[in-house]
Structure 1
Amino acid sequence: MSWPADFVVLQPDGAAIYGSRERDQGLQAAIRAHVPDLATQGMGRVRAWFADDFTSAALHPNPLADQVPARLGYDHPSGWYGPVAVTMEEDVAGHIAPLASEVRETVNDVLAAASETETRTATSIAGIVDAALITDPDVEPEADIGTASTESAQPSIEAPDTGADR
């Protein structure tokens, strides 16, 4: 992504949404569109914006939000729930800079690692399925399945049942 982003929203489903506030919009209003019941907490160089009520049944555990702040130096003691936005911390003048390249790289690294894990899992599952499909001991694994000839089996016509044998 080449344009500067003011925040990234880390979703419980593993998605990361980069966003920016509108020209006359405050950062809190821009983030509130993504994160319900907004609360905030400083974490050193960055700030987390999250749903204040972690006990809400509507909020699901957010492993992406657990990993990104941890890599940036902050571990949440009970884990994050629901969508979590990350911004830079405000400076002494109250200005919040766009996300630093280090933060964006951290998010992208965590996303890439998750994607790699999903690919390995899918490959492993495909291998298990392939192995399960070859259950006939007479089938040679090296045989080219695509070249086998096929024949339609014609239904057998049997004489109608006329009742008990006499």
Structure 2
Amino acid sequence: MRKFTLKLLLVCMALSFWGCNDSDDGNYVNPITIYEKINGSWSLMNLKMVDEFAKSNAIKPDEQNLSTLFNYDTFQINFNVDGNMNPTTYEVIGDVPPLFEPSGFWSLSDLFQQTNGTPLLIHLFKDESRVEKTDDLKVISVPGSNREMQVQLVRVADGVAFVSYTFNLTANN
């Protein structure tokens, strides 16, 4: 009787695991890309200019808040995508001095956030064929559930950064 009970217990355990093999994960959907997260209209919360030369040489002041100067409180940027979530155009709205080309076309350096520490870049182009690049915006913080994004524009001369602009943005939609 004891052997029979042991065999019955083993068979029941095997059958309980056999039922777990058939998984139903639903239908396949494409993964969410950074294009979907950046798509839309963004308003400026804060704009900080950093003197990279002063910062590297410990000279104060090395940064200045530009948010309330030069009408930057009206700054908005729209990143547009098509129906397939491919990037199309971008446009800066507001009566602000341009730090980069106020309209054009855009793309990302990668579809997804990199885990190796490589910064994600928003490439800005003058033409639709994306040959004439005007600038790169480094994505410092990728938008998530809080719908905030931080991008940085760095100006370089002879391979050395001399000034950077950090834009703290919040989604309008």
TM-score, length of structure 2 as denominator length: 0.28
Structure of larger gyration radius? 1
Structure with greater strand share of residues: 2
Structure with greater helix share of residues: 1
